[in-house]
Structure 1
Amino acid sequence: MRRFEEVRVWSRTPEQARRFAEQHRARAMDAESAVRGADVIVTATNAREPILQGAWLKRGALVNAVGSPRPTWRELDDEAMANVVVVDSREAVLKESGDVILSGARIHAEAGEIFAGTRPAPIAQTTVFKSVGLAIEDIATARLVYEATLARAGAQG
């Protein structure tokens, strides 16, 4: 588990970025300044053209790209997608992810293969995790929310 010392945020909607940054006390004026030097980057946009450039990535960074879920949309440029690529589902990203389809990215592994130990984890390498969303992820999230709600209700008791 990584320990975070700093979080930077950028949004194509400046007001949303401002509100989020005020709440979390971090600001970035543009995507590049949010990304440069960061250990972990999360993209969750509806971008149709790349908003993150591989040239901005620090060696060893982890990019969690969960947005732009259409075959013709992209959040990341070809240089970013030339790094180690891990996906939630090969089948799904090859149908739904413009980041993977349009860049011709080589998929290193599915996350499940790494967790099962059948594929090596990309240690100390710049890595892109591309997720288009799977029902099992939604179910796991719903369970965590449900359990947290029950725990909170029990604590209030």
Structure 2
Amino acid sequence: MAIFLTESDVEKLLSMSDALAAVEYALRDFGNGDAQNQPRQRVRAPRGVLHVMPAGWFARGYMGYKAYTAFRGGARFYFYLFDSNTGEYLAIIAADKLGQMRTGAASGVATKFLARRDAKTAGIIGTGWQAESQLQAVCAARALEKVKCFSRDETRRAKFAEKMAARLNIPIEPVASAQDAVVESDIVIAITTAAQPVVNGEWLKAGAHVNAAGSNWTTRREVDSTAVKRAHAIFADSVAQAKIEAGDLSQAVSENVIGWHQVQELSALVSSRATGRIGDDDITLFKSCGIALEDVAVGALVYERARAQGIGIELPF
């Protein structure tokens, strides 16, 4: 019988280090042809949007999809897991925390493979809930010594700095501008709802790595075309999905700053089928759209642990 797992269950069962390992493992299999991912599909209703994201991790015997609605009252996320060998329904998982962790984990994997090995500083723009897992994952990938954070609300950025400094045991300084957060940072994280760029490419130091993770609409972008142009290596968790969702890249393509042939799959990098950073002065860019395979990776892990520990509500099918 299938089980239902709550947000509380997910929080108990999933750590960031485990999410990082699961997402990296799934991306490696994807690069080797042992997984499949389909871009997000959207159904636009008069007052909101239904989003559906399917994928299969066949090397591990799982497939599933995340479905969520976004209406004026907020978003509701659920993930549905199946056995890819038998078609058996395995679980329905409340997927708000799941999504936060897998989005952070994808940026953590990109940071592991693209940032300078000696990266010590990071600047993060955005101090909301998703920013927490972004910073947590980057800190798991690199031994950071200092972080600067910026958001428009001075009180929120101060609270974020205090909270995350205590959680990660590193100094975090709230700063007065996006430029202050970016300048001299080895790793730059953009995780905002901004429609216009918050990262100016002229601010980036030589050797910086950028994770742009906040937007999945072509009408929005967090990094400007200068940042994209300066990047020696550009990766996305799905190029197909980036073409229909990533304004950071599609607008740069429209401006003839880059071509889509310059954007590579993160899975190809993880599976050693693509080259990322070559020199210490290279600027690298990861555009995260958030893909279904990442949901399958962490969803499968949570399901396995729940079964092993007897956690979950049995469903009548």
TM-score normalized by the length of structure 1:
0.86
Match of 2:4 in 1: none
Which structure has the higher relative contact order (CA within 8 Å, separation 6+)?
Answer: 2
Query: Closer, same or farther in 2 for the Cα pair 1:141/1:11, shift >3 Å?
Result: farther
Determine whether 1:4 maps to 2:134: no
Match of 2:204 in 1: 57
Match of 1:91 in 2: 240
CA contact under 8 A between 2:239 and 2:263: conserved in structure 1?
A: no
Query: Closer, same or farther in 2 for the Cα pair 1:99/1:136, shift >3 Å?
Result: same
Please report how far the alpha carbon of residue 143 of structure 1 lies from its aligned counterpart in structure 2 after TM superposition. Answer: 5.1
Please report how far the alpha carbon of residue 116 of structure 1 lies from its aligned counterpart in structure 2 after TM superposition. Answer: 1.4
Looking at structure 2, the residues matched to 137 and 73 of structure 1 have their Cα atoms a distance apart, in angstroms, of 23
Q: What amino acid is the match of 2:201?
A: G
| Residue in structure 2 matching 1:132, options 281, 284, 289 | 289
Q: What amino acid is the match of 1:2?
A: R
Looking at structure 1, the residues matched to 188 and 161 of structure 2 have their Cα atoms a distance apart, in angstroms, of 15
Looking at structure 1, the residues matched to 239 and 286 of structure 2 have their Cα atoms a distance apart, in angstroms, of 12
Q: How many residues align?
A: 153
Match of 2:161 in 1: 21
Long gaps (5+) in structure 1: 151-157
Query: Closer, same or farther in 2 for the Cα pair 1:117/1:101, shift >3 Å?
Result: same
| Residue in structure 2 matching 1:121, options 276, 286, 300 | 276
Q: What amino acid is the match of 1:91?
A: A
Match of 2:69 in 1: none
Match of 1:80 in 2: 227
CA contact under 8 A between 2:242 and 2:249: conserved in structure 1?
A: yes
Looking at structure 2, the residues matched to 89 and 141 of structure 1 have their Cα atoms a distance apart, in angstroms, of 17
Please report how far the alpha carbon of residue 131 of structure 1 lies from its aligned counterpart in structure 2 after TM superposition. Answer: 0.9
Please report how far the alpha carbon of residue 146 of structure 1 lies from its aligned counterpart in structure 2 after TM superposition. Answer: 6.7
Looking at structure 2, the residues matched to 18 and 147 of structure 1 have their Cα atoms a distance apart, in angstroms, of 38
Per the alignment, in what secondary structure is the counterpart of residue 273 of structure 2?
A: coil
Please report how far the alpha carbon of residue 136 of structure 1 lies from its aligned counterpart in structure 2 after TM superposition. Answer: 1.4
Q: What amino acid is the match of 1:5?
A: E
Deviation readout 1:19-53 (Å, 9 max, x if unpaired): 11122242211100001011111111111111110
Query: Closer, same or farther in 2 for the Cα pair 1:116/1:31, shift >3 Å?
Result: same
Please report how far the alpha carbon of residue 4 of structure 1 lies from its aligned counterpart in structure 2 after TM superposition. Answer: 0.4
With 119-128 and 35-44 compared, the bigger mean Cα shift is at 119-128
Looking at structure 2, the residues matched to 127 and 37 of structure 1 have their Cα atoms a distance apart, in angstroms, of 15
Long gaps (5+) in structure 2: 1-140, 166-171, 308-317
CA contact under 8 A between 2:190 and 2:198: conserved in structure 1?
A: no
Calculate the aligned-residue CA RMSD, in Å.
Answer: 2.4
Deviation readout 1:66-105 (Å, 9 max, x if unpaired): 1121111010111111112111111000100110111114
Query: Closer, same or farther in 2 for the Cα pair 1:149/1:14, shift >3 Å?
Result: farther
Identical amino acids, percent of aligned pairs? 34
